[in-house]
Amino acid sequence: MDMEPFVFRHEGALVASRGRPEAVVDEVNRFALRPLETDEFAVFTLDLCHNRVDRHFSRFPEEELDRINALTPGRPLMERHALRDSLPRGTFFRSRVHRQGDTVTVRPDVYVLRTTANADFIVNIEGGVYRETSIGFSFRLPECSVCGKDLRTCDHVPGRSYGDAVCHYILREVMDVIEGSVVASGSQGTGFVAEERALPLPQALDAARRAYHEPITINPPNVWAAE
């Protein structure tokens, strides 16, 4: 029996803001109808989804993250999944799969135009007020982690324990990425992380000179004192 695909939300987190070297400008301009200048947009990086079991007891397998990663560029950044009530705030222009230990995330970059309408939106992201995100996507199969069957046809309940295992469902056969959204509270609980910014060149050179001429201690006091 054919079943309708799910349209689902899965929370992630904003993780960084990025500078704009020329390569970034070129990638952004693949989606613009006219060439944009570097001061016309802000760029942010966010974790859109991951391979861990979330608070809704669902999980992406890694192969589905690879598919989401490929589908994300060109999709819109929204507010609160409000597809009917608002227009996009930004556009995802590139994406990568990020690995840290056992955690794998889809980590795209999004550009947001520095317009009057977007000014508060950008300031709230940069200030860490808007920090969590969510992905809207469609998929076909919620696979039960206990028995491997379609969760709609088995007797297991996500969140309940069966022996030593807690049931969750595995999100398989992702069909499309609909959008990414900034939301008030996601399931991951991670926050916005500002990128470290280098000092301007004159200040960096001055700091290097001071460090070079700083006296050093070869033998700290009492290190070689007899007992």
Q: Would you kindly state where each structural domain of the chain is located, as residue ranges?
A: 6-213
pLDDT in tens, 155-205: 999 999 999 999 999 999 999 999 998 987 655 433 344 454 444 445 545
CA distance 48 to 50: 7
Predicted TM-score (pTM) of the model is: 0.77
What pLDDT score was predicted for residue 196? 43
Selection from 10, 11, 17, 13 nearest residue 110 by Cα: 17
Tell how far CA 204 is from the center of its chain.
Answer: 31
Asked if pLDDT for residue 226 goes beyond 70, the answer is no
CA distance 6 to 178: 12
- Give the rounded percent of residues in the chain with a pLDDT score beyond 70: 72
**Between β-strands 6-18 and 41-47, what pairing exists: parallel, antiparallel or unpaired?**
antiparallel
Q: Terminus-to-terminus CA distance in the chain, angstroms? A: 85
Asked if pLDDT for residue 8 goes beyond 70, the answer is no
What pLDDT score was predicted for residue 80? 81
Asked if pLDDT for residue 131 goes beyond 90, the answer is no
The 3-class secondary structure across the chain, one letter per residue, is: CCCCCEEEEEEEEEEEEECCCHHHHHHHCCCCCCCCCHHHEEEEEEECEECCCCCCCEECCHHHHHHHHHHCCCCEEEECCCCCCCCCCEEEEEEEEEEECCEEEEEEEEEEECCCCCHHHHHHHHCCCCCEEEEEEEEEEEEECCCCCECCCCCCCCCCEECCEECCEEEEEEEEEEEEEEECCCCCCCCCCCCCCCCCHHHHHHHHHHHHHCCCCCCCCCCCCCC
Residue whose structure tokens are 């992201």: 125
CA distance 129 to 150: 39
pLDDT in tens, 19-45: 556 789 999 999 999 999 999 999 999
